[in-house]
Structure 1
């Protein structure tokens, strides 16, 4: 298990800056590690390998990068949908993706599968408002049909998870859950 010494001050900072976060879990995405941490009831309960943007971190609309900073889950889609269900514009297409588990295997499309947690930036000028707005950029935590690429930067800006893992995590993360995306262990100097 990776060292978790960095996490306590980061969680405390996210809780302080996130509105109405009392009693909710906190999700931390470490781009430098390609990992997602779930903090519940005073401790890390889960660590998942993820895939963030192939083009790295950034904020601008159309950049296909993963935005850093504090977000919250604004909307959730896919409850009860079968594993591998393909979503387009957050709508269930009724199609089931062929899940590619071979290392590096690529799908013909950037399919969003199984569940969607739509992120809303909470930091004006950084990930909220204008051309840097994470909600308007459609930044999600979601399942992918390219599971063989989990653990390496491969998305078009979102945070991809394995389908079984996003399905398991989905009911535990209500609307309003703080999500902090970091490119290292430090507490951001943004708020």
Structure 2
């Protein structure tokens, strides 16, 4: 009996480990965010790290800065405004990157992968390039240009729901972002042409509401 006890304990330990591995299987998800499609294509890759944690990486292809145009031209909350034209804002192009860590607070008992209510802090960075515009002074053509850097953090609360390979990921949250505009403009004073280089920094809070949809790989 004493000789069989170590083998029994070893068998029990192996069985428990196998059961734990079967109850949770790491998965990878590829998702898009349709709520931002008006200005950018957001693609996300989420990788389970454990039963409670997953890592989410995102990349954005920005094909217009139209939301910033609306905020700067149509909404006035006392924010500072850069010296950029409507055409430059609407035709801005750029890239964005983000990284978030999901912590699943409440998980479905029937889940075998990352699914449930989660809290996710997200760090992000965006770079937008505005097209050059020609202006003429004293029969000479000059080009005005500009760009924007955006740094920020988001605190999101969401619920991930999986149906076979399909995944739906609605979320809400708050955040803060810093927008740094740099631009070069020209003006004339008599026969002289002046080059004006400006920099504007806006730090503002933000509210987030959206949904991500995708597939398990």
TM-score under structure 2 length normalisation: 0.22
Larger RCO (alpha carbons 8 Å, 6+ apart): 1
Q: TM-score, normalised by structure 1?
A: 0.24
Q: Looking at CA atoms only, which structure, 1 or 2, has the larger radius of gyration?
A: 2
